[in-house]
Amino acid sequence: MANPKTACSDDNILAVLSLANHRLLDDVNPLQGPPSTVAQGPFKSMRLLNLYGGPIDFDEAHDAGVAKMTEVRGGLHALRLPGIAEMMS
């Protein structure tokens, strides 16, 4: 991670971007399940509620990390992974 070229690769930026969009809410205990009793229907596993144990939110710390990593790389135009710049803009 000492080398900015490899530390801020498209793959690493995508990984941190995924973390930024999947923060588990603090008031949810994964062992007890989500706090609400809203019926999720047969698509519960498609929304990953079975994995996260409840609602997810946006994580500002990882978002700031993605912004800094993109800046180190030279901006959105420097990213080469198809679709990643569009996801971030």
Q: Which SS3 state, helix, strand or coil, does residue 37 take? A: coil
Residue 25: which of 54, 48, 50 has the closest Cα?
54
Q: Is residue 43 pLDDT above 90, yes or no? A: no
Q: How far apart are CA 22 and CA 70, in angstroms?
A: 19
The predicted-structure confidence for 10-29, as pLDDT tens digits, reads as follows 999 999 998 888 776 665 55
Global confidence as pTM: 0.65
